[in-house]
Amino acid sequence: MALKVGVIGTGMIGQDHIRRLTKVLSGVEITAVNDIDVERAKEAAPYGAEVFETPKALIESDNVDAIVICSWGPAHEEQLLDCIAAGKPVFCEKPMTTSEEAAIRIVEAEAAYGKRLIQVGFMRRFDADYRRLKAVVDSAMIGAPLMYHSVHRNASVPSHYTSDMPLNDTLVHDADISRWLLSDEIVGVEVRYPRRSTVGGGELKNPVIVLLHMESGAIVDVEISVAITYGYDIRGEVSGETGVASLPNRPATVVSDVNGIRQAMPEDWRERFIEAYDQEFREWIIAAGEGTATGPSAWDGYASTLTADAALRAAESGQYEPLKMIKKPALYLEAPAVAAE
């Protein structure tokens, strides 16, 4: 039996997920859509899907088994709480919430419910390269991880991208993947601004170096460049006690010509993570079919919010800024479950 899914928010990313759920993946059908703009919802709705006037009505519908939230960030809290109230699995795009307090309310509501329902959209955890890297880190192959070097390079950013966004928008991916790769929590953040790039005019505080201090004592140094022009270049290297493990070059034809021996670079995150997005939903469908959620949790969404806030404070103060987390509910204590690939 196919999983009946309702989609809240039919903007660009909502439409892309609708395409994925209807054209690419099996075991799922979209039975309901909702958007603040009803006309847009109607256009985006696949054949046979009902258009609901409110998120709450969609969530509570008997014809909806599970929900995908792609609405505006500030709307997430209420929608997630409604999903928990209805006991229905939900996939929620980043950011899970836009405030620490909202994140805590969601974590506490899910913990009170007693079973995981929420998967947050950190797609990197579903990327095959990162998964192989984690498998090496988790094995005894390189010993305990002591440092992680995470490099995040965007070819360019949109004109509305501001100096807060490397810390608010970009860093969250490196922060989440660091916590996951090292099976660790972030306890403090430092931010340093190197010599500024003149690409794009030089008004943006770019690049940025961020040091994430982990609970184990490991340090993650994140190098963010958001206007490197040449491509979307994501790198990661874990230094352990007795070995080092790194993400490989992306598979690309090795061409020898007048430009040297060379491989093409992905243009953007769509090209780089296209398979991770598919896999993210493939596993969500399996877990949702069993009435629960795996992958990145509400706790991970909460940690992400706290990290971004601490990074913004650290950018301001120039100092080490600690994260103050609530006590971790038992629901989140176990290692992040991974559905069978």
Angle of helix 171-182 versus helix 128-138 axis, rounded to 10: 40
* Binding of residue 339 to a second copy (CB under 8 A): no
* Binding of residue 280 to a second copy (CB under 8 A): no
* Binding of residue 22 to a second copy (CB under 8 A): yes
Q: How far is CA 235 from CA 19, 171, 193, in A?
A: 29, 13, 20
Comparing CB distances to a second copy, the nearer of 21 and 92 is 21
List the one residue from 98, 99, 183, 197 that touches a second copy (CB under 8 A). Answer: 197
List the one residue from 26, 48, 201, 327 that touches a second copy (CB under 8 A). Answer: 26
* Binding of residue 265 to a second copy (CB under 8 A): yes
The answer to whether the CB of 29 falls within 8 A of the CB of 92 is: no
Nearest distance from C-beta of residue 125 to a second copy, angstroms: 15
* Binding of residue 317 to a second copy (CB under 8 A): no
Nearest distance from C-beta of residue 20 to a second copy, angstroms: 10
DSSP 169: I
Tell me whether strands 90-92 and 219-225 are parallel, antiparallel or unpaired: unpaired
Comparing CB distances to a second copy, the nearer of 264 and 326 is 264
Quote the radius of gyration of the chain (alpha carbons, Å): 20
List the one residue from 54, 63, 198, 317 that touches a second copy (CB under 8 A). Answer: 198
Nearest distance from C-beta of residue 209 to a second copy, angstroms: 6
Q: Which two tokens stand for residue 163?
A: 């100096």
* Binding of residue 230 to a second copy (CB under 8 A): yes
Residues 135-194 that bind a second copy (CB under 8 A): 135-136, 141-147, 149, 153, 192, 194
Residue with tokens 């309901």: 32
Stretch that binds a second copy, among 117-125, 164-172, 242-250, 324-332 (CB under 8 A): 242-250
List the one residue from 85, 112, 244, 326 that touches a second copy (CB under 8 A). Answer: 244
Residues 91-130 that bind a second copy (CB under 8 A): 128-129
Nearest distance from C-beta of residue 318 to a second copy, angstroms: 9
List the one residue from 263, 290, 326, 338 that touches a second copy (CB under 8 A). Answer: 263
The answer to whether the CB of 122 falls within 8 A of the CB of 93 is: no
Q: How far is CA 337 from CA 19, 138, 183, in A?
A: 26, 14, 12
* Binding of residue 195 to a second copy (CB under 8 A): yes
DSSP for 293-322, written as a single string: --SS-HHHHHHHHHHHHHHHHHHHHSS-EE
CA angle 65, 71, 73 (to 5 degrees): 120
Q: Which two tokens stand for residue 289?
A: 């079919």
Residue with tokens 């696949």: 46
Comparing CB distances to a second copy, the nearer of 145 and 296 is 145
* Binding of residue 233 to a second copy (CB under 8 A): yes
The four Cα atoms 221, 239, 337, 327 give a dihedral, to 10 degrees, of -50
